[in-house]
Amino acid sequence: MARKKTTSDRVVLQNAVKTLAANIRFSSVDEPISSLAVVSSIPSEGKTTLAVSLAQAMADGESTVLIVECDMRRRSLSNALGGIHGRHGLHAVLSGRHTIMESVVATQVSGLYFLDAEPGIPNPPDILQSKRFGSLIDELTDTFDVVIFDTPPVGTFVDAAIIGSQVDATILVVRQDHVRREEVRNTYAQLQQAGANVIGTVLNCCDAEVSSKYYGYYKERKKDTYDVVQEVPESQKKGASRPAMSIPKGPVTAPAAPLAAQPSRPAAISQTIDASAGAPAPAATPPAAPTAPKAPGAASLGNTDQFLVNTNYVPHGYDEE
């Protein structure tokens, strides 16, 4: 049976997500990230839960945030957001039957909005690679401060790699003791081949027991005393004899200069993948400022089949509902 979450666990989770949101903002100060894909290697790594928590944290920062359902085979965002549904979805917007504002719905979190996807959308990779979807990303980022796309697993469908090649940044969710190192390495390689800007990885479902202990530091202990004026010992009162001080012989040397403080790196988001696994480290350079409307994927990709070849895509099992 799963251990019941304590208040300390919730505090650790909330602070980790807020740190992640801040790191994403600081990863590109000159060109703020306005579109973000949240991806994982295999199912059940907590990608959707993290996407929702991240969207809520960003909305709490007085930003307007839109989270988009892009897993068209197994939709889960609606349940994660409390069962809300819109009258229209992603396919209706892409086909031009309804506008963005007619399809987007507000959530219980102020500043957070949701665009669902209709069930049974045919040929998701072709839709995501269309020029219309690339134009839709531009329209969404013009309307909202941040747009987050929840995607299917990279190792199962090519959808996530296509979306990653069109948005400003991508973060890879890795669940501890759930996914194999080889699968993570292959996922990262596919994203890099597709041209996705992977700004970091998030270790999910990790043991927070050690971290939670440090939050006790901020709790006042009732038995602590804050008396700073105490009785002066008899030996230190005026007129009392004081022990003689011994001065060392030899030249006096200046104390060594203190070492420069090294900037600490937040643990919530890592800019590298385990080097011992042989995976290349993702580039930390910010995305270039867009000078033209975003193109759906690399210019050399003509269709979905060519995209699969270029990304060395190898499908894995994924049960459809």
In order of their start, the domains of the chain are 7-209+265-308 (3.40.50.300)
Mean per-residue pLDDT of the chain: 77
> Cα–Cα distances in Å, from 185 out to 41, 180, 284?
9, 9, 18
Residue 202's alpha-carbon distances to 1, 60, 247, in angstroms, are 25, 20, 56
Averaged pLDDT for residues 93-119: 95
- Cα separation, 153 vs 186, whole angstroms: 12
What pLDDT, on the 0 to 100 scale, is given for residue 68? 98
**Length of the chain measured in residues:** 321
Please report the pLDDT score of residue 161 as a whole number: 96
Q: For the chain, give the percent of residues with pLDDT over 70.
A: 64
CB 273 within 8 A of CB 281: yes
Query: Which pLDDT score, from 0 to 100, does residue 10 have?
Result: 76
Q: What is the pTM of this model?
A: 0.67
Q: 211, 313 in Cβ contact below 8 A? A: no
The arithmetic mean of pLDDT across residues 187-198, rounded, is: 96
pLDDT in tens, 134-180: 999 999 999 999 999 999 999 889 999 999 999 999 999 999 999 99
What is the per-residue pLDDT for 257? 44
CB count in 10 Å sphere of residue 215 = 14
Q: What pLDDT does 226 receive?
A: 40
Range name among 40-44, 86-90, 117-121, 311-315 with the lowest pLDDT average: 311-315
Rounded distance, CA 249 to CA 217, Å?
Answer: 44
For the chain, how big is the Rg over CA atoms in Å? 26
Q: Give dist(CA 17, CA 38) in Å, integer.
A: 13
Contact 293, 134 (CB under 8 A): yes
280 has pLDDT over 50: no
Q: For residue 222, count CB atoms less than 10 angstroms from its CB and return exposed for 0-12, middle for 13-18, buried for 19 or more.
A: exposed
